[in-house]
Amino acid sequence: MTVITTSSLTIAYQSGAVNLQFPNLNVEAKDKVLLLGASGSGKSSFLSIIAGLLKPTTGSVHIHNQDLCAMTNEKRDLFRAQNFGFVFQDLHLISSLTLLQNIKLTTDMLGLNCPQEKLATLLNSLGLSDKTTRKPSELSQGEQQRVALARALIHSPSIVIADEPTSSLDDKNAEQVMDIFENQCALTGAALIVATHDSRIKHRFDKVVHIGT
């Protein structure tokens, strides 16, 4: 089943010239896709367009056969929240909230009851079950990243997007993070899209798309 299709995407800035041009993308359910490129190549912009956070100058994005660019802002925001899970380079954890409260933010914002069985499974599989009352400052960087992943997965999105999840990690921890991403997305059947300049993880992906080349 196709979950993402992009076609002829470009971004032009005030000069009117085409500054960024992106390859066409076709993503199936459960695909693992790597957007690989140097810093400044447009990887994050491509992710933002796919998720409807940035409007392209030309081209189209279809998610589950729905035209993202044709939606109203309100409908697009709701559609994004329902279908995407995000792990940003800046994890955006709220310092005043506990680990558990940070994870539940996604379902709270969607007006949904947090699925307790799924929550327990996520916490256990990510090694966070005994840390639910801790705040981000009381967690290691790796634990914070796992909290962000749990928050991205709690509502069972069909697409998980991660921006530079391994670039600051050593080889061992980079592999461990990718193990977690792959295992969790496989459990939920989500497509995984990772943008990075970290070529060490290239072998982990079904599709590698080079950006800015």
- What whole-number percentage of the chain has pLDDT above 90? 63
Name beta bridge partners: 5.
26, 62
Interacting residues of 100 by C-beta distance below 8 A, sequence separation 6+: 132, 133
The yes-or-no verdict on residue 30 having pLDDT over 90 is yes
Residue at 117: amino acid letter: E
Query: Average pLDDT of 83-88?
Result: 92
Domain range for 127: 2-210
The CATH number of residue 84's host domain is 3.40.50.300
Our count of domains for the chain comes to 1
Query: Average pLDDT of 31-48?
Result: 92
| Buried-state track 57-72, b at ≥16 Cβ within 10 A, e below 16 | eebebbbeeeebeebe
Dump pLDDT digits (tens) for 171-206: 888 888 888 889 889 888 899 999 999 999 999 998
Query: Average pLDDT of 60-74?
Result: 95
Dump pLDDT digits (tens) for 132-169: 999 999 999 888 988 998 999 899 899 999 998 888 78
Interacting residues of 204 by C-beta distance below 8 A, sequence separation 6+: 32, 34, 178, 182
pTM given for the model: 0.89
**Torsion 116-121-126-131 (CA) sign:** positive
**Can you give the pLDDT at residue 16?**
61
